[in-house]
Structure 1
Amino acid sequence: MPLKPATDVQTAPIAALGLLGGFVVARESGIRPLGGVLLGLCGLYAGRTWLAKTDPITTAALSAVYLGGFGASHPLAKKVGAWPAVVGVATASAVSSHLLADRD
Structure 2
Amino acid sequence: MDRIPSAVVAASGLVGGYAVARWTRQRPLGGVVLAAAGATAARQWHRSAGGPAAGALGAAYVAAFAGSHPLAKKVGAWPAVFGVAGAMALASWAVADRRG
Q: TM-score, normalised by structure 2?
A: 0.93
SS in 2 for 1:39: helix
**Counterpart Cα distance in 1 of 2:59 and 2:82:** 17
2:36 matched residue in structure 1: 41
SS in 1 for 2:96: helix
**Structure 1 contact 76–85 (Cα < 8 Å) conserved:** yes
1:90 matched residue in structure 2: 85
What are structure 2's unaligned runs of at least 5 residues? none
Measure how far apart 1:60 and its partner are: 1.1
2:65 matched residue in structure 1: 70
**Counterpart Cα distance in 1 of 2:78 and 2:94:** 24
**Counterpart Cα distance in 1 of 2:62 and 2:9:** 13
Runs of 4+ in 1 over 4 A off after TM superposition: none
The number of residue pairs the alignment matches comes to 99
Q: TM-score, normalised by structure 1?
A: 0.90
**Counterpart Cα distance in 2 of 1:27 and 1:56:** 33
RMSD value, Cα: 1.5
Identity of aligned residues (%): 50
